[in-house]
């Protein structure tokens, strides 16, 4: 079934890149918030000074809030699993269409793929999100 519908391979590669881009964006946000918290804390300790003047002072802890980090970690975990599970639902929908209507599931970008994407993003998206959070 999958060999007859190479569009599933293309979508798997596409969603792998989407997942990779999201992880890179997540690290960018994580480091950005970390630097923001550090400089905000340093500015509150030494108002009016430039960061170069108070760079040597490391007496107080000016790190990111643990709650913020845990929420960011939860968002990374949840979003990556939503993308993976959406891909699983999409492939399962293509295979189900192939079993019941082989002519609709043949070709590179057949109706089975578009129908499966539509069903995954509309009817099944809440279940995909909840299942990704609970089961992972």
Question: Which tens digit of pLDDT belongs to each residue from 52-106?
Answer: 555 555 555 666 778 888 999 999 999 999 999 999 999 898 888 888 887 777 7
Q: What does the DSSP 8-state code read for residue 104? A: G
Query: What confidence score (pLDDT) does residue 51 get?
Result: 55
Cβ atoms of residues 101 and 50 within 8 Å: no
Residue 22: band (very low, low, confident or very high) from pLDDT cuts 50, 70, 90:
very high
What are 44-63's pLDDT values in tens digits? Answer: 666 666 655 555 555 556 66
Average pLDDT, the chain: 82
Residue whose token pair is 């000016």: 62
Alpha carbon distance, N-terminus to C-terminus of the chain: 27
Longest dimension (CA), the chain: 71
């Amino acid at each position: 079934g999958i060999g007859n519908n190479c569009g599933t391979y293309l979508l798997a590669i596409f969603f792998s890149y989407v997942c990779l881009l999201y992880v890179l964006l997540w690290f960018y946000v994580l480091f950005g918030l970390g630097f923001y918290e550090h400089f905000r804390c340093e500015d509150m300790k030494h108002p009016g000074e430039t960061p170069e003047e108070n760079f040597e002072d490391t007496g107080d802890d000016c790190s990111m809030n643990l709650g913020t980090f845990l929420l960011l970690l939860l968002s990374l975990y949840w979003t990556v699993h939503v993308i993976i599970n959406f891909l699983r639902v999409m492939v399962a929908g293509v295979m189900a269409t192939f079993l019941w209507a082989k002519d609709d599931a043949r070709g590179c970008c057949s109706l089975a793929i578009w129908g499966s994407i539509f069903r995954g993003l509309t009817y099944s998206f809440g279940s995909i999100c909840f299942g990704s959070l609970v089961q992972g």
